[in-house]
Amino acid sequence: MRGAEEALIAGGTSVEALMDRAGRGAADYVWRMAAGRRVTVLTGPGNNGGDGWVIAETLRGRGVPVVVVMAAEPRTDAARQARGAYGGTVLGRDEAVVGDVLVDCLFGSGLTRPLDEGDAALLGRLAADHPYRVAIDVPSGVDSDTGVCLNEGLPKWQLTLALGAWKYAHFLMPAAASMGAVRLVDIGCGGVAGASVVLAAPVLHAPAPDAHKYARGLLGVVAGGMPGAALLAARAAQGAGAGYVKLMAPGVPGGLAADMVLELVPGVRDLKARLDDARLSALLVGPGLGRGSDAVARLKAVLGLRKPAVIDADALMVLSPKMVRGSEGLIATPHGGELVALERAFGLSGAGSKVERAGELARGAGLVIVAKGPDTVIAAPDGRIACAPRASSWLSTAGTGDVLAGCIASRLACGVEAFAAACEGVWLHSGAARATPGPFSACTLAEAVPGAYAAALS
């Protein structure tokens, strides 16, 4: 955001003009939400407060009953100019106010310290007195770079309006859980080289007219002593684009469908023989693998092929740096506990935000990292970062991570580059959840993957 603003200003756009664009764009949302109800705008000393003055004057010009509660006098030139242009009612921080919609413009991006006791009390009181609440840019009391809530007991918001560009906090827990719906207000920012991105819907295509199952990608899913999880991942992979999915398991799992190809590999030697197939385009290892010596041997057999692969679940707990040294096209999909285990294995500090931790692990291990959870961050060794929009909370059930691994591995088997495959798989997983009424099981989610794929067809 800072880089984009600098580029706009260097091109001749003033700070005041940017503030006017941001305030008017945000006012459009507030105006629709208010629907004629009384609006209270809380302004602070900086440019976020200046945005609030523009919002208030825009609403006043449209006939909306609006008052401004001024927590502090404006301290920037742009904010003072916006304050001077406002022609409505201004109340002090200790005055009583009655309203329906609260607009929080106390502090925005860049806050790194907790709100002081007076500001926190003022914000809490106004939030409690207004049934509808909108935060401008990021809610006051939130670190925009990390998603950390700097104060306890911060209000919850029905709507948060990001100004100009998304910030990490819009996607990172715990802050993202309190923001309600999030929308982006366009103020003319252009792209900035090296900036992180928000996960977007992939553009997928039907198979070519002359396609056959091997041309579309052969995925091997390597199971261990508990093959049910691998079967679930394989089922998801069948709906995510791969033309041929083989389940390589030491035994026959229950619930095996007629359309699932099973190759029995009771021992590691059997597995190695089955893996000696040049047609295999990608592999998935980890779901139901176990953590004993046999599991380690199976993982080594997979990674020793130097083929594109997804490493998930149990495999992440027994992975060592030596196993992946010199490899390319590998994707690891850790949840929170597995992320910690990988950081220890690779000698990393584990400090910082989820974005920083995923990026450090990706660089240190040479893997694409899908740091999954209620907030999901995808990081590549070359520095690329993607943040996923909040997905359905019904995904918080056993087995959905296996479905995610199958989706990602299927895209990898289709020949998609590892970072892009991870992004596409996360999107398909989220799309399947959006299309599935909750509560749902992982099996139901896997069955919804083809529908998510169809929705992304060009």
Tell me the domain boundaries of the chain.
2-193, 218-455
For residues 333 and 339, what is the distance between their CA atoms, to the nearest angstrom?
A: 9
pLDDT computed for residue 18 by the predictor: 94
pLDDT computed for residue 2 by the predictor: 85
pLDDT computed for residue 1 by the predictor: 87
Kind of pairing, strands 368-371 and 39-43?
Answer: unpaired
Domains 2-193 and 218-455 share a fold: no
H or E, element range at 205 = none
To the nearest 10 degrees (0 to 180), the angle between helices 2-10 and 15-34 is 120
Task: Give CATH for domain 2-193.
Answer: 3.40.50.10260
Tokens 């996960």 belong to: 199
For residues 236 and 247, what is the distance between their CA atoms, to the nearest angstrom?
A: 12
Under CATH, which architecture does the 218-455 domain have? Answer: 3-Layer(aba) Sandwich (3.40)
> Residue 253 — φ and ψ, nearest 5°?
-75, 150
pTM value is 0.95
Using alpha carbons, select from 366, 384, 385 the residue that is nearest to residue 375: 385
**Would you give per-residue pLDDT tens digits along the chain (458 residues)?**
888 888 998 999 999 999 999 999 999 999 999 999 999 999 999 999 999 999 999 999 999 999 999 999 999 999 999 999 999 999 999 999 999 999 999 998 999 999 999 999 999 999 999 999 999 999 999 999 999 999 999 999 999 999 999 999 999 999 999 999 999 999 999 888 889 999 999 999 999 999 999 999 999 999 998 999 999 999 999 999 999 999 999 998 888 888 899 999 999 999 999 999 999 999 999 999 999 999 999 999 999 999 999 999 999 999 999 999 989 999 999 999 999 999 999 999 999 999 999 999 999 999 999 999 999 999 999 999 999 999 999 999 999 999 999 999 999 999 999 999 999 999 999 999 999 999 999 999 999 999 999 999 98
* Number of neighbouring beta carbons within 10 Å of residue 346: 18
Torsion, CA 9, CA 11, CA 12, CA 16, rounded to 10: -30
